[in-house]
Amino acid sequence: MAPMSKLDFRSENKCRHDFLALGALVQRFDPGLVPLHEASHFERHCSGAEYNPAANLAKCFRMRTAIASAIVQYPPGWWIESEVRRAGVVGYYKWFPFDGVRGPRMANTYSDRGIGVRAPEVWYDRANEAGALLAPGDFDWRELFEVDGVRWFHSGGIFASLSPSTSALILEGMKSAHAAGTIASYDLNFRKKLWDASTGGTARALEVNRGIVSCADVLIGNEEDLQLGLGIAGPDVASNQSRLHARSFQSMIERTGKAFPNLRVIATTLREVRSASRHIWKALMWYDGQFHETPELELDVYDRIGGGDGFAAGLIYGLLSGEAPDDALKLGWAHGALLTTYPGDITMARLDQVRALAKGGGARVSR
C-alpha cells in the first residue's frame, strides 16, 4: 500500500469552526438495565451519530464545533435545540413546521443497556423524521466553508441511510469542503435495520457508501462497517473467533486504501464482546504510510452507546491539534473507552482524564 499524504489543515485563526458535522438529531430514550418491553421510565438523551463527535469535541476537548441539521418547531425540537446549545455546539438548522398528524417530526431511538448474557437492544422510531427530508441546497456551504471557515467537515452512514437526498447532501457538503481546503471525514456506522428500511435496501448501501468514501479524506469504522458497509473482504463478522487480531484488520485497511486511494487516514476500532458488561477494546490506524496500533483494554461497560463516536472525537482532536499519529490514536482509544463508563451518548470526561488513560493510567483513586 502506497504511503498516504499527510493531512493539511486550515489555520485555526482563519476559521470560525474547528469541526462541522452534518447529520440528523434524535432523542434517545434509555431505560437503563430494565428491558425496553418492560420499561415505564426512561432517561432522555440528545443524540445523533454525526452530532455526538461535535458535542464530545466541544465538551471534553474545548474545540469550536457546529452541527448542520433539521429541527421541527414543537417541544421535542426545541428541547434538542437547547441541549445542542448546552453542549457548546453551534447549530445551523433547516426548520420544519409541525402539524401533529402527518409530520415531519424529530426521530426517537430506544435502547436498553443489557447486562451479562443479555445483550442490549436498539429500536428505531424514525418514520417521517425531518432529518430524512434534508437535501442539496438546504445549507449555504459557501458561507460556512469560505466565509466563516471550517477546518474539519464530518458526516456518516446513519445519515446517508435515511434517504437518497441525505446521501446527496453529504456529497454536496464534501465537495464544497474540499473546494475550501477543508478536511472531510466519513464514519461508516453501518446499521442494517436502517438500510433495510431505506429505498434500495442494503444493496444501495454499498453504492452510496463507496460514492461518499471516494470523496473523503478520512474514513472511520469498525471491521463490520468495512465489510458490510463498504464491501471490503475480512474475517467472518458472525464468527465467535477473536476480533482483536491486528494482522487481519491491517490487511482490511490496506485493501480499503487500495480501493480508495483518495483516503489519507483509515481508522478502525476492534471490540471483542465477552458479555454485555465486559468488552476488550483496541484501535488501529493507517496514516502517512505507517500502521499504528493501541494496546488492548478491558472495559467494564456501563453504557456502550456512543463509544465509537467517542473514539472519533478523540482521534480528530489529536490530529487537529498536531499530536503524533500514535498519540492521536491513543486519545481516541482512551476517550472512547471512558465514554462507555457514563450514561448517555455524550462525554463526561475531562481532557486530563483522557490523557492519563491514553498514557497508561489505571483506575486507582485520584487523591
Q: What is the pLDDT at residue 365?
A: 40
Reported as a single tens digit per residue, the pLDDT across 316-339 is 999 999 999 999 999 999 999 999
Q: Which residues of the chain fall short of a pLDDT of 70?
A: 1-5, 235-245, 361-367
| Cβ 9 vs Cβ 63: under 8 Å | no
Please report how many Cα atoms fall inside a 13 Å half-sphere around the Cα of residue 102, on the Cβ side. Answer: 2
| Cβ 333 vs Cβ 282: under 8 Å | yes
Q: Give the amino acid at 334.
A: A
Closest CA to 214 of 170, 161, 150: 170
- d(Cα 48, Cα 54) in Å, to the nearest integer? 10
| Cβ 341 vs Cβ 82: under 8 Å | no
Q: Give the amino acid at 107.
A: A
> Which residue has cell 451479562?
116
Where helices occur in 90-215 by DSSP H, the ranges are 141, 157-161, 164-179, 192-197, 201-213
- d(Cα 55, Cα 173) in Å, to the nearest integer? 20
Q: Give the amino acid at 191.
A: R
Q: What is the pLDDT at residue 326?
A: 96
Sign of the torsion angle spanned by Cα atoms 181, 217, 87, 100 = positive
Closest CA to 281 of 298, 259, 265, 261: 298
From the number of C-beta atoms within 10 Å of its C-beta (0-12, 13-18, 19+), residue 79 rates as: middle
Residue 45 is given by DSSP the state: E
Reported as a single tens digit per residue, the pLDDT across 270-312 is 889 999 999 999 999 999 889 999 999 999 999 888 899 999 9
Third-level CATH fold of 12-358: UDP-N-acetylmuramoyl-L-alanine:D-glutamate ligase (3.40.1190)
Domain boundary assignment for the chain: 12-358
Q: What is the pLDDT at residue 234?
A: 74
Q: Give the amino acid at 69.
A: S
> Which residue has cell 500500500?
1
From the number of C-beta atoms within 10 Å of its C-beta (0-12, 13-18, 19+), residue 143 rates as: exposed
What Rg, from alpha-carbon coordinates, does the chain have? 19
- d(Cα 156, Cα 182) in Å, to the nearest integer? 17
- d(Cα 115, Cα 230) in Å, to the nearest integer? 31
DSSP sequence for 241-306: S-S--HHHHHHHHHHHHHH-TT-SEEEEEEEEEEETTEEEEEEEEEETTEEEEPPPEEEE-S--TT
- Grid coordinates belonging to 216: 473523503
CA 303-126-275 angle, to 5 degrees, is 25
First to last CA, the chain: 48
- d(Cα 230, Cα 157) in Å, to the nearest integer? 10
| Cβ 149 vs Cβ 162: under 8 Å | no
